[in-house]
Structure 1
Amino acid sequence: MSAQRTTIFLILLFSVSALLFAGGAGEKPDEALKIGLLPDADSLPFLVAREEGRFSDAGAAVELVMFQNPVERDAAFQAGQIDGIIADAIGSILLFTGGMDVRIASITTGRYGLAAAPGSNAGSPADLAGKEIGVSSNTVIEYVASSLLSEAGIPDSGFKPLAVPKIPVRMELLLNGKLPAACLPEPLYALAVARGAVPLGDSNALGMDPGVMLFDGEVLRERSDEIVRVYRAYWEACRNINTDPDAYRDFLVDVMGFPPVIRESFSFVEYEYPRLPEREEISAAADWMMRRGMIEAPPEYEDLCFDAVVEELEQ
């Protein structure tokens, strides 16, 4: 598949994915929990759980709704069209400090990578000083890019973040050399590297777990028993992927619809058992946001994080 055809394919895939991933055939009951996803590694266990019937086995009615970028996902969440989203610490703190009744129920496991354009002489994040880096603004993507450069001694003022919200467009600008570097979620990070981009580092190298499962606060308080059942199905899918990741390579192509090159090039993450983010993780994210003027004060950890679901899972 040519680069141009791959990009058109991905844009069409992401644009119609709300239809493709809206829970399978047939009508969902009104009481189904609606969970918003992006096409990334964090979302994979939810999609596997649905395809393998694990939500039904756990007695959980779930509708998965896919979005092509965080802006559309968050707009639907704020409008009350979905009950929960796979989000990140940055977006969660923004919504919470903005007055929305939201709570983090757990981390999710993903990977976000920083890559330079094909043919680049860059060998580390330090080599991106002064250069443009494609990101989605004020999200985990920009946070990871900033953190990787900070580890290399480059402050936020030492590079130029360029907002390119649509992930496949960001990837193609990188591959065409129109961006010196970009930060991408998996599996598009793996796809970019397979097509010649130069890997410079990722969130796993930083010891980061920035992805989170965020719910509407009222939904979480009133339907926590249902959400626990969702998590049981999710963890069953995680365990299966961890045990035999190669068995899910076809899934990436046949179900998620990614180009065939992903089948062999993708490196699966090791999914963690659901837990709350560490206080230090929330504190570090909030500190970064305050330095950028995104928030005035950090949220109280106990107010932002809801511990009842993970506690019930451990019983």
Structure 2
Amino acid sequence: MRSKILKTTSTSRFAVKALPAMVGAAAVLLSLGASAETLRIGTLPAADSIVLHVAKDNGLYEKAGLEVELVPFKSALELGAAMRAGRLDGHFGDLMNVFTQNETGIPQKVVFTTTHTIPQQRAFALIAFPKSATAPKTFEELKSKKDVTTAMSSSTIIHYLLDRMTETEKLPEGALKNLEVKQIPIRMQMLLGGKVDTALLPEPLVTVVESKGGKVLWDDRNLNEALAVVSLKSEKLDPKTVDAFRKATAEAARVIEADPVRYRAVMVQKGLLPAPVAEGYKMVAFSFFGTKDGLPPLPTPEEVKRVGEWMVGQGMLKAVPAWDQVVVPAAE
């Protein structure tokens, strides 16, 4: 009996001695958990969203002290509804969504850009398909035609780019006849089926149509526009969170560019790139711009003004937002 009591006492003493270490370990774990900022980010099936997936899957956000959950949506309409319902802390999208949500009571700011126009890489293009007998074969031919049917979506980045194309290329009024088609995959199928003459599509769908015989009439490479951005709601805009989010995403961009073949396969796996055109697809790149962090540049005051004025003209906004109301400046 005595030996049993002594044994129990010895165990108890060990437990007492170990207690400070156990408490210390628990405190470390608790502090790590408490310091991790949680971000629920809505995403869309766009090529450049791969940078968010790589940062998440490779543990780069976790390493930066962030707990990031990527919430996929099929359309910007669904994503916007989730933002309004308070289900997200931020989202991948375009400036129009950011401006609209700010004006309707969901304050947020752009924290980084994932796609910006640049001569080395197209993001959107107006493309024709020969199955339509009336489809133009060149942009010059388009200028000479009337009522060329174009599958598009009004009050979106597609609509904005069509108007920018018309303005910068001096396309005659009436050359295009816009046909409202909200869903991008249906837009592409209508083009391939010869039901419309042209469509303005994003990559990689432009590459898909080209691979089937489509002819690119115009692309966005000569414009100066931030096309896809990531924003955070105002309550998540503390400097440490923004800095960590930017740096981890920038590191993911470098990882992708260091091994494009590997991450092209990841894009296929995640439904961001159709498998049949993967081999010939020019992999999305982020570092052409020479920015300090290696990501495409943030929207400038001029871009914010231009997009805002277009939206006011379309009845989408009441007033053009100030740049510092919708963009977090880059770190010095």
Report the TM range for the smaller structure's normalisation.
Answer: 0.7 to 0.9
Query: Any conservation in 2 of the 1:38–1:68 contact (CA below 8 Å)?
Result: yes
1:254-269 pair list within 5 angstroms: 254-256=269-271, 258-269=273-284
* 8 Å Cα contact 2:149/2:179 also seen in 1: yes
SS of match in other structure, 1:215: strand
Q: Map 1:240-251 onto structure 2 (within 5 A).
A: 240-251=255-266
Q: Is the 8 A contact 1:131 1:159 kept in 2?
A: yes
CA contact (8 A) 2:114 2:228 kept: yes
Equivalenced residue count is 279
CA-CA distance at 1:199 after TM superposition: 1.4
AA at the equivalent of 1:150: E
Of residues 129-138 and 295-304 in structure 1, the stretch that sits farther from structure 2 once superposed is: 129-138
Give the counterpart of 1:294 among 302, 311, 316. 316
Correspondence for 1:56: 62
Secondary structure of the 1:82 match is coil
Rg: which structure is higher? 2
The answer to whether structure 1 residue 186 and structure 2 residue 203 are counterparts is: yes
Q: Aligned pair in 2 of structure 1 residues 56, 156: CA closer, same or farther (>3 Å)? A: farther
Range moving further from structure 2, 160-169 or 149-158 = 149-158
Matched, 1:228 2:240: no
Contact 2:48 2:284 in 1 (8 A): no
- Deviation track 1:29-87 (CA, whole Å, cap 9, x = no partner) reads x9631111111123111112222222222222111111111111111111111111111
- The answer as to whether partners of 1:114 and 1:200 remain within 8 angstroms in 2 is yes
Q: Helix, strand or coil for the counterpart of 2:216?
A: strand
Q: Name the TM-score, length of structure 1 as normaliser.
A: 0.80
Q: Which string of whole-angstrom CA distances, capped at 9 and with x for unpartnered residues, describes residues 77-124 of structure 1?
A: 111111111111222222223333122222221622221223533312
Match for residue 215 of structure 2 among 174, 177, 198: 198
Aligned counterpart, 1:87: 93
* Superposed displacement of residue 201, structure 1: 2.5
Matching of residue 44 in structure 1 with residue 44 in structure 2: no
Q: Which residue of 2 aligns with 1:122?
A: 137
User: In 2, are the aligned partners of 1:58 and 1:229 still within 8 Å (CA)?
Assistant: yes
Give the superposition deviation at 1:262: 2.5
Distance in 1 between the 2:60 and 2:44 partners? 20
CA apart distance, 1:154: 2.6
Unmatched runs of 5 consecutive residues or more in structure 1? 1-29
Task: Give the match for residue 6 of structure 1.
Answer: none
Partner of 1:160: 177
Root mean square deviation, CA, Å:
2.4
Moved more, 180-189 or 36-45: 180-189
Return the letter of the residue paired with 1:242. Answer: E
Conservation of the 8 A alpha-carbon contact between 1:125 and 1:152? no
1:305 aligns to 2:322 (yes or no)? no
3-state secondary structure, aligned to 1:34:
strand
Q: TM-score, normalised by structure 2?
A: 0.76
Question: Judging changes above 3 Å, is the alpha-carbon distance between structure 1 residues 162 and 216 closer, same or farther for their aligned structure 2 residues?
Answer: farther
Q: Could you tell me which amino acid in structure 1 is paired with residue 182 of structure 2? A: P
Identical-residue share of aligned pairs (%): 31
Task: Map 1:168-183 to 2 at 5 A.
Answer: 168-183=185-200
Q: 2 CA distance for matches of 1:132 and 1:218?
A: 44
Write the letter of the residue equivalent to 1:74: G
Residue identity in the other structure for 2:77: V
Instruction: Say if 1:122 and 1:288 are closer, same or farther in 2 by CA, change over 3 A.
Output: farther
Preserved contact between residue 134 and residue 179 of structure 1 (Cα < 8 Å): yes
Contact 2:44 2:72 survives alignment (8 Å): yes
Check the 8 A contact 2:151/2:198 in 1, yes or no.
yes
Instruction: State which of 74, 77, 102 in structure 1 corresponds to 2:80.
Output: 74
Shift of 1:181: 1.4
- Is 1:107 matched with 2:119? no
Instruction: Specify the SS of the correspondent of 1:77.
Output: helix
Write the distance in 2 (CA, Å) between the matches of 1:45 and 1:250.
Answer: 13
C-alpha distance in 2, partners of 1:208/1:257? 22
CA distance in 1 between counterparts of 2:310 and 2:40 reads 31
Please tell me the residue identity of whatever aligns with 2:178: P
